[in-house]
């Protein structure tokens, strides 16, 4: 269950990639301690305060959406509202999936505004499904930092040992600005450094992801845990 002390937010969980450097394997379906990374992220985001999670699929959408359905069925009383968005052109890259997620978050916000008077605009977190070490506390730290950010700043992301990490958190107003700009989210962030505040952290959970076979080996050496690849890919 999510912490009542953490402001609620909308999360975008990106799981549309091809996993090309791993031999075309869906990274969100790797299993850690008998649970897929996808299910772990859905639980962690919910526990951190996400009320809505927009799952963006693309490559391997059938398998990933089936895994999400299983997670929703088995963990339904522990999960936020899950909304699935499919990127029909995942070859356009991760930023195309981000924009689809941002548009879906904007649509949800408009629906909520119409249904409830004086509805508070929620922040939006963009998270990756292939970060095996990130947990609810890590997400919670980001969202709390965002809500204590310096006035005039509307975007935050963690920086660990001078490396840019994930997740990224945006204000609802900034989401609209990104969508209206015609730019990718990353390009918009890079073009507006005055709106960005870095969350300086020593927590390398924010910069550990799984892109290549060497990352699997490094992960096992560091944690003593093994990421199990999904079968039939």
For residue range 77-133, what is the model confidence (pLDDT) as tens digits?
899 999 999 999 999 999 999 999 999 999 998 887 766 554 567 899 999 999 999
Q: What topology does CATH give the domain 9-223? A: Spore Coat Polysaccharide Biosynthesis Protein SpsA; Chain A (3.90.550)
Q: How confident is the model at residue 63 (pLDDT cuts 50, 70, 90)?
A: very high
Lookup: tokens for 203:
């927590």
User: Global pTM?
Assistant: 0.94
Of the chain, the percentage scoring pLDDT greater than 70 comes to 95
For strands 163-164 and 50-57, give the pairing: unpaired
Strand (E) positions, the chain? Answer: 9-15, 31-32, 35-36, 50-57, 81-86, 123-128, 155-160, 163-164, 168-170, 196-201
Domain boundaries, the chain: 9-223
């Amino acid at each position: 269950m999510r912490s009542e002390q953490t402001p609620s937010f909308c999360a975008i969980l990106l799981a549309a990639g091809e996993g090309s450097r791993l031999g075309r394997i869906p990274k969100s379906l790797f299993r850690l301690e008998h649970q897929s990374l996808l299910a772990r992220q859905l639980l962690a985001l919910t526990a951190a305060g996400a009320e809505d999670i927009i799952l963006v699929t693309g490559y391997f959408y059938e398998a990933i959406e089936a895994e999400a359905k299983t997670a929703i069925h088995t963990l339904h009383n522990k999960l936020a509202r899950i909304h699935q968005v499919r990127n029909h052109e995942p070859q356009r890259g991760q930023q195309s999936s981000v924009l689809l997620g941002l548009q879906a978050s904007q649509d949800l916000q408009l629906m909520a505004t119409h249904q409830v008077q004086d509805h508070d605009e929620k922040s939006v977190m963009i998270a990756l499904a292939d970060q095996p070490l990130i947990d609810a506390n890590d997400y919670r730290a980001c969202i709390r930092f965002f809500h204590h950010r310096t006035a005039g700043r509307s975007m935050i992301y963690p920086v660990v040992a001078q490396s840019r990490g994930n997740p990224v958190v945006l204000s609802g107003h900034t989401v609209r600005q990104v969508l209206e700009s015609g730019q990718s989210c990353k390009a918009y962030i890079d073009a507006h450094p005055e709106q960005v505040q870095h969350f300086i952290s020593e927590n390398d959970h924010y910069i550990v992801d799984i892109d290549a076979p060497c990352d699997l080996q490094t992960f096992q050496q560091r944690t003593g845990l093994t990421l199990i690849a999904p079968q039939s890919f």
